[in-house]
Amino acid sequence: MDPYQLLNLLFQFLDSFAVIVLAAVGLAIIFGMMGIINLAHGEFILVGAYATVLSYHRIGLPLVVAMLVGVAITTVYGVVLERLIVRHLYDRLLDSMVATWGISLIMIQGVRILWGNSLDGVGTPFGSVSYGPYSYSTYRLVLAGIAVGVLIGLYVLFARTDFGMRARATIQDKETARSMGVDTDRMYLSTFAIGSALAGLTGALYAPTRSVGPEFGQEYVVEAFVTVVVGGASVIVGTSMAGGLLALVKSGATNQWGQFIGLAAMLVTAIVAIRLMPDGITGLLEDWRRARRESE
Protein backbone atom coordinates (compact mmCIF):
# COMPACT_ATOMS: atom_id res chain seq x y z
CA MET A 1 0.00 0.00 0.00
CA ASP A 2 1.57 3.28 -1.01
CA PRO A 3 1.56 6.21 1.40
CA TYR A 4 -1.21 7.93 -0.52
CA GLN A 5 -3.48 4.98 0.04
CA LEU A 6 -2.63 5.00 3.73
CA LEU A 7 -3.67 8.62 3.76
CA ASN A 8 -6.93 7.57 2.08
CA LEU A 9 -7.53 5.06 4.82
CA LEU A 10 -6.75 7.59 7.53
CA PHE A 11 -9.11 10.17 6.05
CA GLN A 12 -11.85 7.60 5.54
CA PHE A 13 -11.47 6.59 9.16
CA LEU A 14 -11.67 10.19 10.39
CA ASP A 15 -14.73 10.71 8.19
CA SER A 16 -16.51 7.64 9.58
CA PHE A 17 -15.47 8.56 13.09
CA ALA A 18 -16.99 12.01 12.73
CA VAL A 19 -20.26 10.65 11.37
CA ILE A 20 -20.59 7.99 14.04
CA VAL A 21 -19.63 10.21 16.96
CA LEU A 22 -21.76 13.14 15.88
CA ALA A 23 -24.71 10.88 15.13
CA ALA A 24 -24.42 9.27 18.54
CA VAL A 25 -23.41 11.99 20.90
CA GLY A 26 -26.83 13.61 21.36
CA LEU A 27 -28.38 10.21 21.82
CA ALA A 28 -25.67 9.22 24.27
CA ILE A 29 -26.95 11.91 26.59
CA ILE A 30 -30.66 11.41 26.02
CA PHE A 31 -30.56 7.61 25.92
CA GLY A 32 -27.30 6.75 27.68
CA MET A 33 -27.67 9.17 30.55
CA MET A 34 -31.37 9.85 30.83
CA GLY A 35 -32.81 6.51 29.78
CA ILE A 36 -35.10 7.77 27.04
CA ILE A 37 -34.96 5.40 24.08
CA ASN A 38 -35.38 8.23 21.67
CA LEU A 39 -36.48 6.74 18.38
CA ALA A 40 -37.09 10.30 17.23
CA HIS A 41 -33.38 11.05 17.57
CA GLY A 42 -33.16 11.25 13.80
CA GLU A 43 -35.87 13.87 13.78
CA PHE A 44 -33.94 16.05 16.24
CA ILE A 45 -31.16 15.93 13.68
CA LEU A 46 -33.76 16.69 11.03
CA VAL A 47 -34.86 19.83 12.86
CA GLY A 48 -31.26 21.03 13.01
CA ALA A 49 -30.77 20.43 9.30
CA TYR A 50 -34.03 22.05 8.26
CA ALA A 51 -33.52 25.09 10.46
CA THR A 52 -30.04 25.51 9.01
CA VAL A 53 -31.02 25.12 5.38
CA LEU A 54 -34.15 27.24 5.64
CA SER A 55 -32.43 30.09 7.41
CA TYR A 56 -29.57 29.90 4.88
CA HIS A 57 -31.80 29.94 1.80
CA ARG A 58 -34.87 31.84 2.89
CA ILE A 59 -33.37 34.38 5.27
CA GLY A 60 -30.01 34.50 3.58
CA LEU A 61 -27.90 34.08 6.69
CA PRO A 62 -24.25 33.13 6.30
CA LEU A 63 -23.79 29.37 6.64
CA VAL A 64 -22.08 29.44 10.02
CA VAL A 65 -24.79 31.67 11.47
CA ALA A 66 -27.45 29.48 9.90
CA MET A 67 -25.90 26.48 11.61
CA LEU A 68 -26.00 28.23 14.95
CA VAL A 69 -29.63 29.02 14.31
CA GLY A 70 -30.13 25.33 13.56
CA VAL A 71 -28.62 24.37 16.90
CA ALA A 72 -30.64 27.02 18.74
CA ILE A 73 -33.94 25.98 17.18
CA THR A 74 -33.31 22.30 17.90
CA THR A 75 -32.57 23.22 21.51
CA VAL A 76 -35.84 25.10 21.79
CA TYR A 77 -37.60 22.20 20.10
CA GLY A 78 -36.07 19.82 22.62
CA VAL A 79 -37.07 21.99 25.55
CA VAL A 80 -40.65 22.25 24.37
CA LEU A 81 -40.83 18.51 23.78
CA GLU A 82 -39.33 17.82 27.19
CA ARG A 83 -41.92 19.96 28.94
CA LEU A 84 -44.86 18.62 26.98
CA ILE A 85 -44.06 14.96 26.59
CA VAL A 86 -40.69 13.60 27.56
CA ARG A 87 -40.83 14.49 31.23
CA HIS A 88 -43.69 12.05 31.61
CA LEU A 89 -41.44 9.34 30.30
CA TYR A 90 -38.47 9.44 32.65
CA ASP A 91 -37.90 6.00 34.18
CA ARG A 92 -40.21 4.53 31.55
CA LEU A 93 -37.52 3.32 29.22
CA LEU A 94 -39.74 1.21 27.02
CA ASP A 95 -42.76 3.49 26.87
CA SER A 96 -40.43 6.22 25.71
CA MET A 97 -39.73 4.07 22.68
CA VAL A 98 -43.31 4.04 21.43
CA ALA A 99 -43.94 7.68 22.28
CA THR A 100 -40.84 8.81 20.42
CA TRP A 101 -41.73 6.58 17.47
CA GLY A 102 -45.00 8.50 17.36
CA ILE A 103 -43.13 11.78 17.48
CA SER A 104 -40.92 10.56 14.67
CA LEU A 105 -43.89 9.73 12.43
CA ILE A 106 -45.48 13.10 13.11
CA MET A 107 -42.27 15.01 12.48
CA ILE A 108 -41.37 13.30 9.21
CA GLN A 109 -44.80 13.71 7.71
CA GLY A 110 -45.28 17.16 9.24
CA VAL A 111 -42.06 18.37 7.66
CA ARG A 112 -43.21 16.89 4.36
CA ILE A 113 -46.54 18.67 4.54
CA LEU A 114 -44.94 21.99 5.42
CA TRP A 115 -41.89 22.05 3.16
CA GLY A 116 -42.41 19.39 0.53
CA ASN A 117 -40.27 16.41 -0.38
CA SER A 118 -36.91 18.08 -0.25
CA LEU A 119 -35.08 21.32 0.36
CA ASP A 120 -32.66 23.01 -1.98
CA GLY A 121 -29.14 21.88 -1.26
CA VAL A 122 -26.46 23.91 0.42
CA GLY A 123 -23.06 23.41 -1.15
CA THR A 124 -20.29 21.96 0.99
CA PRO A 125 -17.76 24.67 1.88
CA PHE A 126 -13.93 24.56 1.85
CA GLY A 127 -13.11 22.45 -1.22
CA SER A 128 -10.64 19.61 -0.86
CA VAL A 129 -7.09 18.61 0.01
CA SER A 130 -5.15 16.90 -2.77
CA TYR A 131 -2.40 14.32 -2.45
CA GLY A 132 -1.05 12.31 -5.34
CA PRO A 133 -3.96 11.20 -7.53
CA TYR A 134 -6.36 11.54 -4.60
CA SER A 135 -8.22 14.24 -2.80
CA TYR A 136 -10.50 14.44 0.20
CA SER A 137 -13.15 16.88 1.28
CA THR A 138 -11.65 19.41 3.67
CA TYR A 139 -14.99 19.96 5.31
CA ARG A 140 -15.32 16.28 6.23
CA LEU A 141 -11.95 16.43 7.93
CA VAL A 142 -12.97 19.57 9.76
CA LEU A 143 -16.02 17.63 10.99
CA ALA A 144 -13.70 15.04 12.52
CA GLY A 145 -12.02 17.87 14.38
CA ILE A 146 -15.39 19.17 15.53
CA ALA A 147 -16.36 15.69 16.72
CA VAL A 148 -13.27 15.52 18.89
CA GLY A 149 -13.93 19.05 20.09
CA VAL A 150 -17.48 18.15 21.07
CA LEU A 151 -16.27 15.17 23.06
CA ILE A 152 -13.69 17.29 24.90
CA GLY A 153 -16.28 19.98 25.52
CA LEU A 154 -18.66 17.44 27.02
CA TYR A 155 -15.93 16.04 29.19
CA VAL A 156 -15.22 19.48 30.57
CA LEU A 157 -18.91 20.22 31.02
CA PHE A 158 -19.84 17.04 32.83
CA ALA A 159 -16.65 16.23 34.69
CA ARG A 160 -15.27 19.62 35.53
CA THR A 161 -18.14 21.97 36.14
CA ASP A 162 -20.54 22.35 38.99
CA PHE A 163 -23.43 22.01 36.57
CA GLY A 164 -22.08 18.73 35.26
CA MET A 165 -21.75 17.32 38.73
CA ARG A 166 -25.29 18.25 39.66
CA ALA A 167 -26.61 16.84 36.41
CA ARG A 168 -24.87 13.53 36.94
CA ALA A 169 -25.97 13.41 40.55
CA THR A 170 -29.56 14.03 39.52
CA ILE A 171 -29.55 11.31 36.96
CA GLN A 172 -27.82 8.79 39.21
CA ASP A 173 -29.99 9.37 42.26
CA LYS A 174 -32.75 11.88 41.96
CA GLU A 175 -33.96 11.74 45.54
CA THR A 176 -30.57 12.25 47.11
CA ALA A 177 -29.74 15.03 44.71
CA ARG A 178 -32.98 16.76 45.54
CA SER A 179 -32.36 16.45 49.25
CA MET A 180 -28.99 18.10 48.66
CA GLY A 181 -30.82 21.07 47.23
CA VAL A 182 -30.48 20.38 43.51
CA ASP A 183 -33.38 21.52 41.36
CA THR A 184 -33.69 18.12 39.70
CA ASP A 185 -36.52 19.08 37.43
CA ARG A 186 -34.39 21.78 35.94
CA MET A 187 -31.39 19.46 35.70
CA TYR A 188 -33.37 17.02 33.61
CA LEU A 189 -34.55 19.83 31.39
CA SER A 190 -31.08 21.24 30.85
CA THR A 191 -29.53 17.86 30.23
CA PHE A 192 -32.20 17.07 27.68
CA ALA A 193 -31.62 20.46 26.10
CA ILE A 194 -27.92 19.69 25.73
CA GLY A 195 -28.71 16.38 24.08
CA SER A 196 -31.10 18.13 21.70
CA ALA A 197 -28.58 20.83 20.92
CA LEU A 198 -25.99 18.22 20.00
CA ALA A 199 -28.45 16.42 17.73
CA GLY A 200 -29.26 19.78 16.15
CA LEU A 201 -25.55 20.40 15.68
CA THR A 202 -25.22 17.12 13.81
CA GLY A 203 -28.08 18.08 11.51
CA ALA A 204 -26.62 21.53 10.94
CA LEU A 205 -23.15 20.19 10.20
CA TYR A 206 -24.24 17.48 7.80
CA ALA A 207 -26.92 19.48 5.98
CA PRO A 208 -24.35 20.78 3.46
CA THR A 209 -23.04 17.30 2.68
CA ARG A 210 -26.18 15.31 2.05
CA SER A 211 -29.54 15.70 0.43
CA VAL A 212 -31.98 17.29 2.88
CA GLY A 213 -35.52 15.92 2.89
CA PRO A 214 -37.99 14.60 5.46
CA GLU A 215 -36.10 11.30 5.80
CA PHE A 216 -32.79 13.03 6.45
CA GLY A 217 -32.63 12.04 10.09
CA GLN A 218 -33.32 8.37 9.49
CA GLU A 219 -29.85 7.85 8.10
CA TYR A 220 -28.25 8.40 11.49
CA VAL A 221 -30.47 6.37 13.76
CA VAL A 222 -28.97 2.91 13.43
CA GLU A 223 -25.39 4.05 13.80
CA ALA A 224 -26.34 6.22 16.75
CA PHE A 225 -28.05 3.44 18.71
CA VAL A 226 -25.39 0.88 17.95
CA THR A 227 -22.66 3.26 19.07
CA VAL A 228 -24.37 4.23 22.29
CA VAL A 229 -25.05 0.63 23.22
CA VAL A 230 -21.55 -0.53 22.38
CA GLY A 231 -20.21 2.42 24.32
CA GLY A 232 -22.19 1.82 27.46
CA ALA A 233 -23.18 4.19 30.21
CA SER A 234 -20.45 6.79 30.05
CA VAL A 235 -21.16 9.45 27.46
CA ILE A 236 -17.66 10.60 26.75
CA VAL A 237 -15.54 7.50 27.19
CA GLY A 238 -18.20 5.22 25.76
CA THR A 239 -19.02 7.28 22.70
CA SER A 240 -15.44 8.01 21.79
CA MET A 241 -14.23 4.45 22.22
CA ALA A 242 -17.22 2.89 20.50
CA GLY A 243 -17.00 5.50 17.76
CA GLY A 244 -13.34 4.70 17.30
CA LEU A 245 -13.90 0.95 17.19
CA LEU A 246 -16.86 1.03 14.83
CA ALA A 247 -15.31 3.64 12.56
CA LEU A 248 -12.13 1.59 12.36
CA VAL A 249 -14.02 -1.56 11.39
CA LYS A 250 -16.30 0.24 8.98
CA SER A 251 -13.72 2.33 7.19
CA GLY A 252 -11.19 -0.50 7.10
CA ALA A 253 -13.63 -3.03 5.69
CA THR A 254 -15.11 -0.52 3.26
CA ASN A 255 -11.68 0.45 2.05
CA GLN A 256 -10.71 -3.17 1.44
CA TRP A 257 -13.92 -4.85 0.36
CA GLY A 258 -16.44 -2.16 -0.49
CA GLN A 259 -19.43 -0.47 1.07
CA PHE A 260 -21.65 -3.50 1.64
CA ILE A 261 -19.00 -5.42 3.58
CA GLY A 262 -18.14 -2.25 5.46
CA LEU A 263 -21.70 -1.78 6.61
CA ALA A 264 -22.19 -5.44 7.43
CA ALA A 265 -18.88 -5.64 9.28
CA MET A 266 -19.84 -2.69 11.44
CA LEU A 267 -23.17 -4.23 12.40
CA VAL A 268 -21.66 -7.64 13.10
CA THR A 269 -18.94 -6.03 15.18
CA ALA A 270 -21.64 -4.34 17.20
CA ILE A 271 -23.36 -7.67 17.84
CA VAL A 272 -20.13 -9.31 18.93
CA ALA A 273 -19.14 -6.31 21.03
CA ILE A 274 -22.42 -6.33 22.91
CA ARG A 275 -22.05 -10.03 23.52
CA LEU A 276 -18.49 -9.74 24.80
CA MET A 277 -19.13 -6.56 26.74
CA PRO A 278 -22.67 -6.79 28.05
CA ASP A 279 -22.35 -3.40 29.73
CA GLY A 280 -20.59 -1.76 26.86
CA ILE A 281 -17.02 -0.58 26.66
CA THR A 282 -17.60 1.56 29.74
CA GLY A 283 -18.62 -1.47 31.73
CA LEU A 284 -15.54 -3.36 30.63
CA LEU A 285 -13.27 -0.50 31.62
CA GLU A 286 -14.93 -0.29 35.01
CA ASP A 287 -14.41 -4.01 35.56
CA TRP A 288 -10.76 -3.61 34.74
CA ARG A 289 -10.41 -0.69 37.04
CA ARG A 290 -12.12 -2.55 39.84
CA ALA A 291 -9.97 -5.63 39.27
CA ARG A 292 -6.83 -3.56 39.39
CA ARG A 293 -7.92 -1.83 42.54
CA GLU A 294 -8.62 -5.15 44.19
CA SER A 295 -5.31 -6.65 43.19
CA GLU A 296 -3.42 -3.69 44.59
Partner 1 sequence: MSADSALETITARVRSPFEGPNTTGNSNAFWTAFVLAVVGLFLVPAVSPGHVSDLTLFMSYAFLALSLCFIWGYCGILSFGQVAFFGVAGYTFGIVGINVGAETGALLGVVAALFVATLFAAALGYFMFYGGVRDVYVTIMTLVVALVLNTFMGQTAGSEWAIGDARLGGFNGMVGAPNRAIGTGSVAIDMTGDGLYYVVLALLIATYLGLRALVNSRFGYAMVATREDEDRTAMFGYNTKFIKLAVFTFGGTLAGLSGVLFMFWSPGGYINPDVFGITAAAMPVIWASIGGRTSLLGTTTAAVALQYLDQRLAASGSEYALVVIGALLLFVILVMPAGVAPYAERAVDWIRDGVSAKLRGDPESENENAPSNSEVTK
Partner 2 sequence: MSDRRLSRRRALATGLSGVGLALAGCLAEEGDGNGGNGDGGNGETTGTTGGDDAPKIAVLEDRSGNFALNGTAKWQASLLAVEEINADGGVLGEEIEVYDPDPQSDNQRYVELTQEAIVDEEVDALWAGYSSATREAIRPTVNQHDQLYFYTTQYEGGVCDETTFAVGATARQQLGAVVPYLIEEYGPRIYTVAADYNFGQLSGDWVRILAEEHDAEVVDEEYIPLDVSDFGSTINNIQGEDPDFIMSMLVGESHTAFYEQRANTGLDIPIGSSTTMAQGYEHRRLDPPALTDMYVGVNYMEEITGERNEDFVDRFYEEWPDAEYLNQEAQNNYFSVYMWKEAVERAGTFDQEAVIEELEAGIEVEAPEGDIELDPATHHMTHHMRVGHADENHEVTFSEEQYIEPSFLHEVGCDLTEESEQTQYEPGEYYDEA
Task: Give me the residues that bind partner 1 (CB under 8 A), please.
Answer: 37, 39, 85, 88-89, 91-95, 97-99, 101-106, 108-110, 112-113, 221-222, 225-226, 229, 260, 263-264, 267-268, 270-271, 274-276, 278-280
Nearer to partner 2, 237 or 253 (CB): 253
265 φ, ψ to 5°?
Answer: -60, -40
Helices (H), the chain: 3-27, 41-57, 63-84, 93-115, 138-155, 162-172, 174-179, 184-206, 218-231, 235-257, 259-276, 280-295
Q: Which of partner 1, partner 2, none does 268 bind, CB closer than 5 to 8 A by kind? A: partner 1
Question: Would you count residue 38 as binding partner 2 (CB under 8 A)?
Answer: no
- List the one residue from 17, 19, 26, 177 that touches partner 2 (CB under 8 A): 19
Residue 52 DSSP SS3: helix
The binding track of 183-212 with respect to partner 2, each residue x by CB under 8 A or -, is -------------------------xxxx-
Question: Would you count residue 145 as binding partner 2 (CB under 8 A)?
Answer: no
Helices (H), 34-87: 41-57, 63-84
Quote the CA–CA distance of 249 and 76 in Å, as a whole number. Answer: 36
Question: Would you count residue 109 as binding partner 2 (CB under 8 A)?
Answer: yes
- List the one residue from 219, 274, 279, 286 that touches partner 2 (CB under 8 A): 219
Length, in residues, of the chain: 296
Question: Would you count residue 161 as binding partner 2 (CB under 8 A)?
Answer: no
Of 225, 239, 232, give the one whose Cα is nearest residue 40.
225
Shortest spacing between CB 260 and partner 1, in angstroms: 6
The binding track of 113-142 with respect to partner 2, each residue x by CB under 8 A or -, is ---xxxxxxxxx-xxx-x--xxxxx-xx--
Q: What is the DSSP string of 231-251?
A: H-S-HHHHHHHHHHHHHHHHH
From the list 195-203, 234-242, 250-258, 275-283, the region that binds partner 2 by CB under 8 A is 250-258
Quote the CA–CA distance of 279 and 127 in Å, as a whole number. Answer: 41
Render the burial of 82-92: b for 16+ CB within 10 Å, e for the rest.
beeebeebbee
Contacts to partner 2 by CB under 8 A: 5, 8, 11-12, 15-16, 19, 109, 112, 116-124, 126-128, 130, 133-137, 139-140, 208-211, 213-216, 219, 222, 251, 254-255, 258-260, 262-263
